[in-house]
Amino acid sequence: MVLSPKSQIMQWGCLLIVSIIFLAGGGKYAFAVKATPPLNLSLTSRTLSDGQTELTLKAIANLTVDKADLTIVLPASLDLASGGLQWEGAIAIGEKKEVKVLVRTLANIQALVIGKATVYFTHGGSLLQQQTLLLNAPKKKASPPAKPPTLRKQGRDTILEFR
């Protein structure tokens, strides 16, 4: 089949029009979705009056999870006073699960506590989420208060000097 120059021009013209419409209209519907982890995970601490520290690993489900486990991993410098370090089970969407423990410090050194959540998928595979918390961190020295500016005259000008 031989095309005449007139029909070739028509084909190229149609192709050009379709391309312009596709490119111009295609950008209107482009969007991005930020990935959300299955669980919102947080690890917090609270110092109690008797010298113990309460650690809380909290997970709130962004989707229904059939099987998950929450675990608090303690370093050697911390001793478990009460509570369980692990929870395992299912979490419904919007549901909150917590693991709370009381710990004692064996040595007054920095202690890195790790909170882990593992989500197991029904068709295989798993996802590990992790939060860390530093206990017994050294206190930062307070910086001396800023000196007020010095007022100085230079000719008819007044100059404030900040040091």
Second-level CATH architecture of 39-135: Sandwich (2.60)
Return the sign of the alpha-carbon dihedral for residues 22, 23, 24, 26. positive
Task: Provide, rounded to the nearest whole percent, the portion of the chain with pLDDT above 90.
Answer: 45
| Predicted local confidence at residue 44, as pLDDT | 94
| Predicted local confidence at residue 5, as pLDDT | 61
DSSP-derived 3-state class of residue 5: helix
Specify whether the CB–CB gap between 106 and 80 falls below 8 A: no
130 CB-near residues (< 8 Å, 6+ apart)? 41, 114, 115, 116, 117
| Predicted local confidence at residue 92, as pLDDT | 94
DSSP 112-137: EEEEEEEEE-TTS-EEEEEEEEEESP
Residue among 103, 109, 112 nearest 134 (CA): 112
Which carries the bigger pLDDT value, residue 134 or residue 106?
134
The residue type of 86 is Q
pTM exceeds 0.75 for this model = no
Specify whether the CB–CB gap between 70 and 87 falls below 8 A: yes
How far is residue 130's CA from residue 59's CA, in Å, rounded to a whole number?
Answer: 11
- Residue 71 pLDDT exceeds 80: yes
How far is residue 138's CA from residue 129's CA, in Å, rounded to a whole number?
Answer: 27
Q: What is the mean pLDDT of residues 86-105?
A: 94
| Predicted local confidence at residue 131, as pLDDT | 94
Q: Which helix (H) or strand (E) holds 6?
A: helix 5-26
- Residue 49 pLDDT exceeds 90: no
**pLDDT tens digits, 1-31:** 555 666 667 777 767 777 776 666 655 565 6
| Predicted local confidence at residue 60, as pLDDT | 95
Q: What is the mean pLDDT of residues 38-66?
A: 92
